[in-house]
Amino acid sequence: MTPATAADGTSQSLVLPASRATGCPFDPPPAYDQALRHEPVRRANLWDGTSCWLLTGYHQVRSVLGDRRFSADARVPGFPFLSPGRRELVNRTTPSFIRMDDPEHARQRRMLTGDFIIKRVDAMRPQIQQVVDDTLDRMVAKGAPADLVTDFALPVPSLVICLLLGVPYEDHEFFQRHSRTLLDLASGPEPVRASIQSLTDYLSDLTARRRRDPDDSVLGRLAQREDISLGEAASMGLLLLVAGHETTANMTALGTLALLRNPDQAALLRGEPDLAKGAVEELLRYLSIVHSGLPRVALEDVELDGTLIRAGEGVMLMLSTANRDAGLFEDGDRLDITREARRHLAFGFGVHQCLGQPLARVELEVALRTLFGRLPGLRLAVPFEEITYRTDMAVYGVNELPVSW
Ligand code: HEM
C-alpha cells in the first residue's frame, strides 16, 4: 500500500495549520479545500519538521473519530502538535480527560454527564434567557456602536458556565485572559506553562474551598466525591471553564456576522424565530470553529480507504472540510438555515464528542433568537472588509464585531 497522492500524482508539501490568507473568511483554508477535493487522506508537515496524516473528508474523519485504534492521549509517541505551546500542554501533571483514552477518560467523563444531559440543560433555559436578556439590556443601554464580542457574545457563556461550575464571575478577566493564551497557537511554551499554572492554582484553591464548604455547583459536587483527587477535580473544572465559554462565545459572534453577511438568511430568522434551532446547526456546520483540526495518533496499523496508517503515526482530522463534504451536504459552501445539518461533525464524534453540546445548543439558540428578535435593525458598524479574524487561535472567530442597531 502507498500513501495517497494528488490526482496528478504529485503530493505538494503542506504545512499545518494552513493559512486562511485568501478567500472567504467563513470557508476553510484553500489548501484544505484542495485536499478534500483531490486527496482526502494525505501527508502534511508540522512546525517541528515531523509529519502526520491530514484527513479532510467526512467519512474518513468520522471513521477515525469512532475508531478505538486511534488515541487522543497526547503522551503517546507520534501524537501531532500544531505548535510548541500545544506540546507544552502535555507536560502538565494532571492532563484533562479530553486528552485521555478509556477507561480513565470514561471514568472521569461519567462523573459529569448528568450535568450536561438535555433534560438538565433544558431546565436551565429560563436562567439562560435571563442572562441573555440582562446582557443585551446592558449593551443597548450603553448605546451603539457596541463590540458584540465583549458586550454580548463573551459575557453570556462566561456567566452561564460560572453559574453551572460555581466559579465567581468577578474573576472573568483573569480566566478569560489565561484561556486565550491556552488557545492561541502562537503562544510559546513559557506563557502556556504560566497560564496552566495560574488556572490550576485558581481552580485547586476553589475546589479545596468547596470541599470544606460544599454547594450544589458542578465543582462543589466534584469536590465532595471520594473517588477523585482534588487535583483531578480541578483539572476537570479547568477543561469545562475553558471549553465552556470560548467556543460558544466565538460561535455567537461569528454566527452573527455570517447571518449579517447573508441578509436573506437573517431575514428568514427574523421572520420565523422558530428557525433558530436549525440555524444553530447550520452555523455550527458552516463555520466549524474548532478549525485547526482534532489530533489523534494510531495505536495499531490501520487501513483507511486503501491507505496504510501505521502505528505511531499522527493524524489531523479537519472538521471544517468534513462539514463541507459534497457527499453529505449539497452545495455545502452555501449558508442555508433551513437545511438538515444535524449530521455535522462540529462537536466531534465518538467517545470524545463534545460533552457540553446540549448547553452550547441552548445558549446559541437563545442568544441568536433574542438578538435578532429584539434588534431587527442589527447591522455592522464598520465595512465587512475591516473585520479581523482569530486565525491563530485553536477556536476560530472574530477579534471584534462593531455593530449598530
Ligand atoms: C469536546 C466543540 C461547547 C465541553 C469537544 C470536541 C469538539 C468540541 C469538536 C471534541 C474534541 C476532540 O475529540 O478532540 C465544541 C463547540 C462548542 C463547544 C463547537 C460550542 C459551539 C462546549 C461547552 C462545554 C464543552 C459549552 C462545556 C460546558 C467539552 C468537553 C469536551 C469537549 C468537556 C471533552 C469531551 C471528552 O473528551 O469526552 N467540544 N464545544 N464544549 N467539549 Fe465542546
Measured from the Cβ of residue 126, the count of other Cβ atoms closer than 10 Å reads: 10
> What residue's CA is closest to ligand 1, atom 37?
98
What atom of ligand 1 comes closest to residue 296's alpha carbon? 14
d(CA 324, CA 39): 15
d(CA 21, CA 30): 9
> What residue's CA is closest to ligand 1, atom 6?
354
Query: Judging by DSSP bridges, how do beta strands 307-309 and 379-380 pair with one another?
Result: unpaired
Radius of gyration of the chain (CA): 21
What atom of ligand 1 comes closest to residue 65's alpha carbon? 13
Check: CB of residue 217 under 8 Å from CB of residue 165: yes
> What residue's CA is closest to ligand 1, atom 22?
356
Q: What is the SS3 assignment for 41?
A: strand
Question: In the prediction, which pLDDT does 91 show?
Answer: 67
d(CA 258, CA 285): 12
Q: How far, rounded to the nearest angstrom, does the alpha carbon of residue 257 sit from its chain's CA centroid?
A: 17
Question: In the prediction, which pLDDT does 4 show?
Answer: 43
Measured from the Cβ of residue 350, the count of other Cβ atoms closer than 10 Å reads: 17
For residue 237, the CA-to-ligand 1 centroid distance in Å is 13
- Per the DSSP assignment, residues forming a β-bridge with 54 are 42, 316
Helices (H) and strands (E) in the chain, counts: 16, 10
What atom of ligand 1 comes closest to residue 359's alpha carbon? 26
Select from 107, 289, 347, 390 the residue to mutate for testing ligand 1; criterion: most ligand atoms less than 8 Å from CB. Answer: 347
Measured from the Cβ of residue 214, the count of other Cβ atoms closer than 10 Å reads: 13
d(CA 218, CA 236): 10
Question: In the prediction, which pLDDT does 85 show?
Answer: 85
Residues with CB under 6 A from ligand 1: 72, 97-98, 109, 161, 239-240, 243-244, 247-248, 251, 289-290, 294, 346-348, 352, 354-356, 359-360
ipTM of the complex: 0.99
For residue 250, the CA-to-ligand 1 centroid distance in Å is 13
Strand order in the sheet with 41-45: 41-45, 51-55, 314-317, 294-298, 70-71
- State which H helix or E strand residue 296 sits in: strand 294-298
Q: How far is CA 7 from CA 34, 35, 38, 380, in A?
A: 11, 10, 6, 42
| 16-404 CATH fold | Cytochrome p450 (1.10.630)
Question: In the prediction, which pLDDT does 94 show?
Answer: 74
pLDDT in 10s for each residue of the chain, 405 residues: 334 444 444 467 899 999 887 779 999 999 999 999 999 999 999 989 999 999 999 999 999 999 999 999 999 999 999 988 888 877 666 789 999 999 999 999 999 999 999 988 999 999 999 999 999 999 999 999 999 999 999 999 999 999 999 999 999 999 999 999 988 988 988 999 999 999 999 999 999 999 999 999 999 999 999 999 998 999 999 999 999 999 999 999 999 999 999 999 999 999 999 999 999 999 999 999 999 999 999 999 999 999 999 999 999 999 999 999 999 999 999 999 999 999 999 999 999 999 999 999 999 999 999 999 999 999 999 999 999 999 999 999 999 999 999
pTM summary value: 0.95
Q: What is the SS3 assignment for 44?
A: strand
